[in-house]
Amino acid sequence: MPYSEAQKKATLKYRKESYARIKEGFAAFGLPVSAESALSSSITPEDVLSLTHADKKREAGRIKCILLRRIGEAFIDATVSDEELLSAIRAVM
């Protein structure tokens, strides 16, 4: 069943709030919240994507991603495209 616009907006708001809470929790313990400080400036998102192609968790040519439905509810998804991975990598770099 397709989501209504109100449901889509509420879901997006919840996800943004959850993302902020996770980042705040990491930062509170001194953990990195972006790859910016950990990576050389010469490493590009495309380089990171390329490294995922050699990952042992790949299955049928796709990387198995651990994603969150919400805090405390993770699931495995092997349908994430390279474009979606690049978008996520860029968000943290």
List the domain boundaries for the chain: 1-33, 39-93
d(CA 70, CA 90): 21
Q: What are the pLDDT digits (tens) for 29-85? A: 988 777 765 566 678 889 888 888 887 777 787 888 888 888 888 999 888 888 998
Mode of pairing for the β-strands spanning 73-77 and 65-70: antiparallel
Q: CA 10, CA 12: separation in Å to the nearest integer?
A: 5
Per the structure block, which two tokens stand in for 1?
């069943």
> What confidence score (pLDDT) does residue 28 get?
92
Identify the residue with better confidence: 22 or 12. Answer: 22
The model's pTM is 0.60
Give the per-residue pLDDT at 38: 59
